[in-house]
Each structure stands twice: as structure tokens, then as C-alpha cells.
Amino acid sequence: MSTLTWADVLANPHLQNLPFKIELNRWGRIEMSPASNRHGMVQVDIAAELRQRPGGRVIVECSVQTLDGVRVADVAWVSDERLQRFGDNTPFPGAPELCVAIMSPTNTWAEMHHKSGLYLQAGAAEVWIQTLDGQRTVIQPPLGSA
């Protein structure tokens, strides 16, 4: 199996319109995350909440280049300034200021914290882990790191 890039994934006709979300790990291998309708409803609710923030845009399914491959934030808020810097790059070369990962029943807290750390390393100022039942954990970089 050859190593894939995110551009390869986006261009591959066999990978378009899949009924689940995919990410690309550091070895160029696809990881799949099926999403439920409940997941989609939570995603829309968070996007609506974040649209109230001035000075930026909300993106769903926001691809981010991390140290562990391309990860896809379920919802992200990116400032106008950072969006101008990132442009239309897909994936973004760094993380938006706020990345949200919605925890599905098959996810573990360890996986979610690992993904949160990747977003923080890529430049996010804050990561939310949102459960399907409405619990939210807010993660920020340790003081003194930047």
C-alpha cells in the first residue's frame, strides 16, 4: 500500500461521498470514524453557538495538518486573520484557534485527549471535547507554553 497525502484522499473518486468521516494518520493510512445522526445534530448545535463569535468563521469538518497526520475537527472557529493566513489550503497548515472534537461512543478519553493535544501543538488556543449527552471538557495549553 502506498502512502497517501491529503490531496490524494480528496482527489480519489472512491473516497468521495462516503457515509463516514476519514482522517489520514502520519503514515498516510486512512482511519475511519463513522458518525451517527446524533453526532450530526450536536455538530450543528455547536456550529450555531460558535457563529455568535465575532471576527471569524465557523468550519465543520475542518482538516488540520498535525504532527500525527491530518486530523479533522468536527467543528472549528478560525479568526479572520488566521483564515487569511491559511487561505484555501486543505488541510490547514495549522489549527484554528478553537477546535471541537465530538466524542462518539466508540472513542476513548485517551484518544480524545491525544487528538486535543495534536490540535494544541498545531496552534489551537482551545479544544473542546463534547460528548453526545452535552458534557463539555475545555482543554487549553499549559501556562507558559505558546
Which tens digit of pLDDT belongs to each residue from 97-117? 999 999 988 789 999 999 999
pTM over 0.75: yes
CA distance 116 to 101: 8
Which tens digit of pLDDT belongs to each residue from 57-98? 999 999 999 999 999 999 999 999 999 999 999 999 999 999
The identity of residue 65, as a single letter, is Q
Q: For the chain, which domains are there?
A: 36-139 (3.90.1570.10)
CA distance 29 to 48: 32
